[in-house]
Structure 1
């Protein structure tokens, strides 16, 4: 299913955080949101998975305003992996993943054979089938991320919404998680800080700055030295990755944008 964010405005605590954002997450593609801290990425995603209500504009799922859907029905279509993730689940890995079946169950209804098969497949897809009996709290950060992604898979959504899914993960776990996302072949809307990861995994990117989408397109179209200087305030060259051919951003970690190379930077 396709997500269309249409002239979205979001404000809270008396401050406008997203102002007139327009973007599309096409069916079956991974669509990335990138931008500096405070640009509105997380706020926009929270509106997509209905944690926040827009002050104006709307989010459409296959042409239907999400606010017209009952919560349980919306949860069958959209699964979220937010930044704020509970780490105190006193549950087993399998029990956490089985929570993804909640939108399909009536109150106090138990698991059926279909639920058990779906949970087993989600655990296998996330590479956590052999950890099903472990306590969630005993897992490493990378393992927890995989379990929470498996919970989202068990929800069988049409759309995955992920907010900084690689945050705090080491390089290996970042690569593994992004590979899982790629292999899922679902419509995905994902916010990423790592621009090189975004260039590698995303089909399209939307760049946010001060709550507004300022650029949209493929990673190669969007991640130009001029945009990186203007939006992120960094000097960078964009080259081809020697292993994958994806755009690879080489940052100048010595000189801010606008300064002459070799100039002394004073604190």
Structure 2
């Protein structure tokens, strides 16, 4: 499902945080949002999963204005993993993941065999199959992250919206998560601070700076030394990763741009 954001404006307390953003995630494409803190990445994503209402502009799902869709239909189309993640669930892991099936259930309907199969598959996908009966609140931050991602997978959406999903994950689980997202090939909008991870994962990058998109395109075309200096304030060289061939950014940690 194609996602298009057209002339998006979002404001807080009378001030535009995002102004005139245009960006696209084609069907099956992983589109990354990168930029410094405060550049508007999370704000844009929150409008896609309807946590925020734009003051102007619109979000289109397969050409349909998001505002014309019911909440239930939106929940069947889009699953989100926001930065604000609950940590006080007094539920088991399986009970948290099965919450992803809610958009498909009638009120007070119980879980059926199909739900349980989907939950088991989602837990296996994030490497947590053996933890279904554990208390969610007893998990580490990285484990909780993987369970909430499993909940998003259990929702069986056409669009994934992920805001810094690699936070709290160790290196092995970061690599596994990025490989999993590549294999999914769902339309995905994802914000990442790690530019090398973004270059490896994403088909297209949108660089945000001060609430506006300042560059869009394939990672190799977007992540240039000049852009890194202008937007991120760092001195860097862009080379080729010796194992994958992806762009590899080497930062000068002794000086800024």
In structure 1, what is the Cα distance between the partners aligned to 2:173 and 2:120? 21
2:35 is aligned with 1:15: no
CA offset at residue 168 of structure 1?
A: 2.8
1:91 aligned onto 2:91: yes
5+ residue gaps in structure 1? 258-267
Aligned residue runs from structure 1 range 164-243, under 5 A: 164-243=164-243
Larger Rg: 1
Which residue is 1:123 aligned to? 123
The 5-angstrom pairing of residues 68-147 of structure 1 reads 68-147=68-147
Corresponding residue for residue 264 of structure 1: none
* Map of 1:262 onto structure 2: none
Aligned twin of 1:64 = 64
Per the alignment, residue 47 of structure 1 pairs with 47
Structure 1 position 174, deviation (Å): 1.5
**2:193 counterpart SS class:** coil
Equivalent in the alignment of 1:151: 151
Secondary structure of the residue aligned to 2:5 is strand
Aligned match of 1:265: none
Task: Report deviation, 1:16.
Answer: 0.4
May I ask how many residue pairs the two structures share in their alignment? 257
Distance 2:39 2:66 in 1: 23
Q: CA deviation at 1:112?
A: 1.8
CA offsets, 1:209-241, max 9 Å, x none? 111111001110000001001111111000011
Q: Distance in 2 between matches of 1:91 and 1:59?
A: 34
Instruction: Return the TM-score normalized by structure 2.
Output: 0.98
Deviations 1:56-82 (A, max 9, x none): 000000000111111011000000000
Q: State the distance in 1 between where 2:159 and 2:150 align.
A: 14
Q: State the SS of the aligned residue for 1:57.
A: strand
Cα distance in 1 between the residues matched to 2:17 and 2:168: 25
Provide the secondary structure at the position in 2 that maps to 1:52.
coil
* Ranges of 4+ aligned residues in structure 1 off by more than 4 Å: none
SS of the aligned residue for 1:27 comes to coil
Q: 2:162 is matched with which residue?
A: 162
How far has the Cα of 1:113 moved from its partner?
2.0
Tell me what 2:6 maps to: 6
CA RMSD across the alignment: 0.9
Task: Give the drift of 1:169.
Answer: 2.3
Q: Structure 1 length as normaliser, TM-score?
A: 0.94
Return 5+ residue gaps in structure 2 as ranges: none
Give the Cα–Cα distance (whole angstroms) in 1 for the partners of residues 256 and 127 of structure 2: 41
